[in-house]
Amino acid sequence: MTVRAAIALGSNLGDRQAHLDAAVTALGQLGTVVAVSAPIETEPVGGPPGQGRYLNAVAVLDTNLEPRRLLDECLTIELAQGRVRDERWGPRTLDLDILLFGDRQIAQPGLTIPHPELARRPFVLEPLAEVWPDARYPDGSLVQSRGRLTDPEMAAPSYIAVFLTTGLLAVALWWIMDLFLG
């Protein structure tokens, strides 16, 4: 059965765009690449100081592979691009992360889907919104809405100040607020 998956692509060593392009070509051997976001350049998150900036993108892939097999293939693609895993969050020629795999929720050693940091990573949320704006978590909630709620710069206030304390207008306003805000 064909499943739609979202794969994050990142590179901060060498010819970053060439690494991303090679990854997209290789992903095409694993299914049908439906869409690829425009690349965005970002500062590294975590890891050792002095790393170069990342080039990030997201590819949407329709595949018949099982999640573990897709992960294994992604690791093979990384190796083919010269990925060396000698330092946690260190610089890399290519990093591929499975963000979503249909409506599946998976918690296995070395494989967690949806990606546990998805909602906290604007460098993934932005490209994902471009290519799969209605992407959903297994519980049905929109990825983008949950991401906005966890991004402090984009979060809506959790309160509304009301100065009306008596009268029919105050009751109506209170009822409307309760209806929409819960």
Q: Under 8 Å CB-to-CB from 40, ≥6 apart: which residues?
A: 55, 56, 57, 123, 126, 127
Domain assignment present for 95: yes
Would residue 134 show up in a list of annotated catalytic residues for this protein?
no
Q: Are 101 and 3 in contact (CB under 8 A)?
A: yes
Catalytic: which of 92, 120, 134, 178? 92
Domain assignment present for 79: yes
Long-range contacts of 100-107 (CB under 8 A, 24+ apart): 100/4, 100/5, 100/6, 100/135, 100/137, 100/143, 101/3, 101/5, 101/67, 101/70, 102/3, 102/4, 102/5, 103/136, 103/138, 104/3, 104/67, 104/138, 105/138, 106/67
pLDDT in tens, 28-75: 999 999 999 999 999 888 778 888 999 999 999 999 999 999 999 999
Q: How far apart are CA 141 and CA 84, in angstroms?
A: 36
Catalytic: which of 68, 69, 95, 103? 95
Catalytic: which of 15, 53, 83, 120? 83
Domain assignment present for 67: yes
Would residue 83 show up in a list of annotated catalytic residues for this protein?
yes
Domain assignment present for 10: yes
Would residue 136 show up in a list of annotated catalytic residues for this protein?
no
Domain assignment present for 160: no
- 6-20, 78-92, 96-110, 166-180: range with lowest mean pLDDT: 166-180
Would residue 21 show up in a list of annotated catalytic residues for this protein?
no
Domain with 78 in it: 3-150
Domain assignment present for 146: yes
Between 148 and 140, the higher pLDDT residue: 140
Catalytic: which of 16, 97, 121, 146? 97
- Tell me: pLDDT of 25 over 60: yes
**pTM value > 0.75:** yes
Q: How far apart are the first and last CA of the chain?
A: 39
pLDDT in tens, 78-117: 999 988 887 777 789 999 999 999 999 989 899 998 888 8
Q: How far apart are CA 131 and CA 64, in angstroms?
A: 20
Domain assignment present for 166: no
Q: What is the CATH number of the domain that holds 136?
A: 3.30.70.560
Q: Per the omega criterion (within 30 degrees of 0), is the bond before 109 cis?
A: no
Count of domains observed in the chain: 1
